[in-house]
Structure formats: C-alpha cells, structure tokens
Amino acid sequence: MSDHRSPSSFLFSGRNVHTFQRSEGWVNRREGSERVSVYQTQEQAIEQGREIAAREGVEHLIHGRDGRIRERNSYGNDPHAKKG
C-alpha cells in the first residue's frame, strides 16, 4: 500500500532532506522541522537539497509534482547498504 498524502502532510521524524513543490515554489525541508527554504525552480531546490544532505550525511528525498518520492539518495548512513 503506498502513501498518497502530500509531502507537507507527512510526519517527519529525522533529519533527512525532502525536496518538494508547494504553492510558493520548490522547497527543501528537513525532517522534524517546519521551516522550509523556497526556490524558484526545482533544479535549484534539488541542488541545494543535495548539498545539505551530503554535508550532513543524511538522505535526500526528491518528490515529484504528484507528491510521490521519485528519487532517493543517501549520503552517509545508507540503510540499504550491504556488507561484503
């Protein structure tokens, strides 16, 4: 079962960075925070979100216009990394 809620309605609990669209433009928001950074373009928001996630060693989740996660990149503690 997939979650079709908008990104702004998710209950964020960590520090990963989410990039998604709102009425005022494309935004980045860290999990656990209500504060957002607003950008005019999706490309600008993705670039800044990637830089933040890489600097902090967290995941960057990019949501499409429909609100669904379309891309997910891990910078640091990858929960899906396999030892070997």
Beta bridge partners of 38: 27
From first to last of its 84 residues, what are the pLDDT tens digits of the chain?
A: 444 444 443 433 359 999 999 999 999 999 999 999 999 999 999 999 999 999 999 999 999 999 999 999 999 865 666 665
Domain boundaries of the chain, sorted by first residue: 12-73
**Could you tell me whether strands 36-39 and 25-30 are parallel, antiparallel, or unpaired per DSSP bridges?**
antiparallel
